[in-house]
């Protein structure tokens, strides 16, 4: 399934924050932008969504920035992506409901609902802490292992 740039930027940003800024210290978007190579202006939109999702809090003004609202082990990938991705579960349209409601029903119940449940439970299990640990483990490894 396709995760959009917005979702990937959000996840990468939040991993970076968890890696480096534990003690209530905020980080600015410019720093994240430079560190990860993401447009700062675009990051603003991403963080607007993250804030609405209550994953980060902001400090305005000079010396301001963002910090994680919760500890990394209490933030799941599902939390991050639902805050930011438009079509992680968005699939409301009817397909053949008017003329073949029983087919519509079967598709929804057996396929789409099962799919959503699977996505949800898979992403729920992975926390920011897991991601930080995996990234630290990788730092020591051979770079050739990077591409699977």
Q: By the criterion CB under 8 A, which residues form the site for its own copies?
A: 1-3, 5, 8-9, 11-12, 15-16, 35-38, 77, 87-91, 93, 95-119, 121-123, 125-126, 130-132, 134-136, 138-139, 143, 146, 148
| Nearer CB in complex with DNA: 65/127 | 65
- Closest CB to its own copies among residues 61, 93: 93
Residue 59 to residue 15: CA distance in whole angstroms: 19
What is the closest distance, in whole angstroms, from the C-beta atom of residue 57 to DNA in the complex?
8
List contacts with DNA (CB under 7 A). 4-6, 9, 28-30, 39, 41-42, 44-45, 47-48, 51, 58-66, 86-87
* C-alpha angle 37-41-46 in degrees, rounded to nearest 5: 85
Locate 121 and state its tokens: 């439970």
How far is C-alpha 64 from the geometric centre of its chain's CA atoms?
Answer: 23
By C-beta, is 48 or 73 nearer to DNA? 48
CB of 61 to its own copies, least distance (A): 28
User: In this complex, which beta carbon is closest to its own copies, that of residue 59 or of residue 114?
Assistant: 114
CB atoms within 10 A of CB 66: 24
Tokens of 68: 């994680």
State the Cα–Cα distance between residues 54 and 48, nearest whole angstrom: 10
Least separation in angstroms between residue 137's CB and DNA is 28
Residues 6+ apart with CB under 8 A from 121: none
């Amino acid at each position: 399934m396709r995760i959009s740039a917005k979702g990937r930027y959000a996840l990468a940003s939040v991993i970076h924050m968890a890696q480096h800024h534990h003690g209530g210290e905020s980080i600015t978007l410019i720093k994240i932008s430079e560190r990860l190579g993401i447009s700062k202006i675009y990051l603003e939109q991403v963080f607007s969504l993250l804030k609405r999702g209550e994953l980060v809090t902001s400090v305005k003004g000079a010396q301001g920035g963002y910090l994680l609202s919760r500890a990394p082990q209490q933030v799941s990938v599902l939390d991050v992506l639902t805050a930011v991705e438009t079509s992680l579960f968005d699939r409301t349209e009817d397909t053949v409901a008017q003329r073949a409601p029983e087919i519509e029903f079967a598709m929804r119940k057996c396929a789409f609902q099962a799919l959503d449940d699977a996505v949800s439970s898979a992403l729920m299990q992975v926390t920011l802490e897991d991601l930080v640990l995996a990234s630290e483990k990788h730092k020591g490894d051979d770079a050739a292992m990077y591409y699977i």
